[in-house]
Amino acid sequence: MDEPDSPNQPPPIPDRGPSSWATLLRLWTLRSAGGGADPSTIFLTAVSAACLILWLAIDWWGAQPDPKFLAENVPLLAWYALAILALAAVLRFSARPLPSFPATLLLALGLVPLPLMVAAIVAPFLPPIMLLAVVAALLIYVFFYLTRGLRSFSGRSQRNAALAGIAFFMGFVWVTDVLDVVPDIWAVPEVEAPAGSGNTQADAEGLLFEQSARIDQALSAINQGASRAPKAFFLGFAGVGDEQVFAQEIGLASRVLSERYGMEDKSLSLLNDERDLERAPLATVSGLRYALRGLAGHMNLDRDVLFLAISSHGSKDPAIAVSNADLPLDDLTDEDLAEALEDSGIKWRVIIISACYAGGFIESLKDPRTIIITAAAADRTSFGCSSDRDLTYFGEAFYRDALPEAGSLRDAFEKAKAAIAVRERREKIEPSKPQAFFGNELEAKLAAMKDHTP
């Protein structure tokens, strides 16, 4: 027979279940969180602060060796705070029976570290295919994390609520990318490209006067061929002469495109390069007009295709910078380019512009028989245009890496765009967001043209 409890004996301590930190650890390892009280406000605040500190630490680490604090980006953190609260609400109201809001908020906060570390530490170093596999694995983990966590807090299986949470998560990532809400609090300081010396003394009048003869000489070497099949012709334009990267990029563009489309003997490049003012016709607005008319005279305008590659600095006007030594040169605007192409009579044209703000050229040039590929959106800069580089970021990603093995220009653009986005994210610089327009008639025509085989 049990003895009655002594009046002075303390009451038994109820089983409160695991602590809040232990609960969170069990959730991360996909184990049942067990019973217990809802997480306290103090604990949720501590977890929120830990997530914020982790974000700032990763951001600071990625901006080494000389991180620059960007106070203007701090308010953007509110976008992510609202997303966490919204995810907690979606999880709560999608579950039956309803778990408490503190419980679903803990679930939402617990999700923050893994995708944050994947996006900031893992993703920048992976090629697109590997990154896709990592994202798929992350989504599978999130599904089991939410399913197990909601079951722990509600007592029932909650697969539909977990799927609703994943749908919200994916939608948030998509909207964030579209709106470009990336609160980089620390960033790598921009390094200004060294200015050109401008010491080359040229007889401006005489040098410019002889450019038409140089272009004629280059055009005389073009072989039209006797084939009745559509042929491709190349025209390159390197706009700024005090940075060798532009002339080198046009050289690569000429080689890669010529090998792919059989243009080895049907190409012409206008180059501004202060290292040598004699090796090629100079890139000027009037020279571009003259070269286009000359090429048109060698083309069957009803079937042949022009590939026009431009590499230079750009401005928001939009305009392509044109400069070489002390020559008095005008920049190339979108109206100049559209008018020059129209005057030439060339109907089928692929235009590739590697320059800041190049997306601003698309609207004035697009039509069903034109493809336009640009290194940046109309309001964005591109990167890698300095004298200490061989190619710009776009030139490396598109001409060097993507185009030689791509199935089409569209495929090459998409691969280059993805690679550039990964690189810019890794280097903590504002995304350039390359843009393109693919005229359906020209895209079909290029698909019918067989690649040139040496």
Helices 128-154 and 409-426: angle between axes, nearest 10 degrees: 60
DSSP assigned state of 220: H
Measured distance CA(192)–CA(316) in Å, rounded: 19
pLDDT tens digits along 81-125: 999 999 999 999 999 888 899 989 999 999 888 888 877 777 766
Q: Which residues pair with 307 in a beta bridge?
A: 234, 350
- pLDDT at position 265 is 87
The pLDDT of residue 181? 77
Quick check: 296 and 289 in contact, CB under 8 A? no
255-290 confidence digits (pLDDT tens): 999 999 989 889 999 999 888 888 899 999 999 999
Burial 312-348 (b: 16+ CB within 10 A, else e): bbbeeebbbbbbbbebebebbbbebbeebbeebebbb
Positions in the chain whose pLDDT score sits under 70:
1-18, 34-37, 65, 124-125, 188-202, 225-226, 450-454
Which domains are assigned to the chain?
20-187 (no CATH), 218-448 (3.40.50.1460)
Q: What pLDDT does 450 receive? A: 61
CB 305 within 8 A of CB 445: yes
pLDDT recorded at residue 454: 39
In whole angstroms, what is the distance from residue 131 CA to residue 119 CA? 10
Question: 3-class DSSP state for residue 389?
Answer: coil
Q: Which long-range contacts (CB under 8 A, 24 or more apart) does 202-207 make?
A: 202/277, 202/325, 202/326, 202/327, 204/326, 204/327, 204/328, 207/277, 207/282, 207/327
- The packing angle between helices 409-426 and 440-448, to 10°, is 110
Q: pTM of the prediction?
A: 0.64
